[in-house]
């Protein structure tokens, strides 16, 4: 069955750790002492849940600081209160998810069906069919250019980079490469 790429929203989550993105070194002006606020080797990561269409990364990113993990209830709350209203407002009708445990809840399927949205699951072990994976890869590379050391700054930096990904990258790098276009 063919699917119109313009009606698709892809959702995925990615763990970001400060030591895995960017540099572990601080900087300061030559007349000031460099101070590193967080010890990045002991800083837990932050899980980002994000959604994208062919034109943008949707402005509804959820950041979950570790050691908290994304549960089915948390994902369901985000879908109900943020994703579904945004999809309806933008005229999207198909949600693409991978097979992560929080995505496979029957309550989630009922919520989406009640809103008139379809949900499509990718085959198991097929992350390269998920357009959002490419966006996360782009984000990892761009966050390496400059790193902030507080958790809030780090979260803001990753979110800003995600929102800075434009239509050309969403459409070209993400949807065409994965075969959705």
pLDDT at 150 over 80: no
Structure tokens at 178: 């994965």
What's the pLDDT score for residue 31? 63
How many percent of the chain have pLDDT more than 70?
75
pLDDT at 99 over 60: yes
pLDDT at 128 over 80: no
For 119, phi and psi rounded to 5 degrees? -125, 130
What are the tens digits of pLDDT across the range 160-169?
A: 888 888 888 8
Average pLDDT taken over every residue of the chain: 79
What are the tens digits of pLDDT across the range 66-84?
A: 888 888 889 999 999 999 9
As a whole number, mean pLDDT of residues 175-181 equals 56
CA distance 48 to 45: 10
pLDDT at 139 over 90: no
pTM as predicted: 0.77
């Amino acid at each position: 069955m063919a699917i119109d790429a313009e009606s698709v929203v892809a959702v995925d989550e990615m763990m970001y750790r400060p030591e895995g993105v960017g540099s572990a070194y601080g900087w300061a002006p030559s007349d000031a002492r460099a101070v590193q606020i967080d010890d990045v080797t002991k800083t837990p990561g932050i899980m980002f849940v994000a959604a994208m269409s062919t034109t943008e990364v949707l402005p509804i990113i959820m950041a979950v600081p570790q050691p908290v993990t994304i549960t089915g209830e948390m994902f369901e709350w985000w879908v109900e209160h943020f994703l579904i209203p945004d999809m309806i407002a933008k005229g999207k009708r198909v949600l693409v998810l991978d097979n992560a445990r929080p995505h496979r809840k029957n309550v989630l399927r009922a919520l989406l069906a009640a809103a008139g949205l379809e949900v499509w699951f990718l085959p198991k072990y097929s992350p390269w069919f998920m357009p959002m994976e490419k966006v996360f890869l782009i984000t990892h590379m761009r966050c390496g250019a400059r790193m902030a050391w507080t958790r809030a700054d780090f979260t803001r930096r990753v979110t800003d980079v995600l929102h800075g990904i434009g239509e050309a990258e969403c459409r070209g790098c993400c949807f065409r490469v994965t075969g959705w276009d």
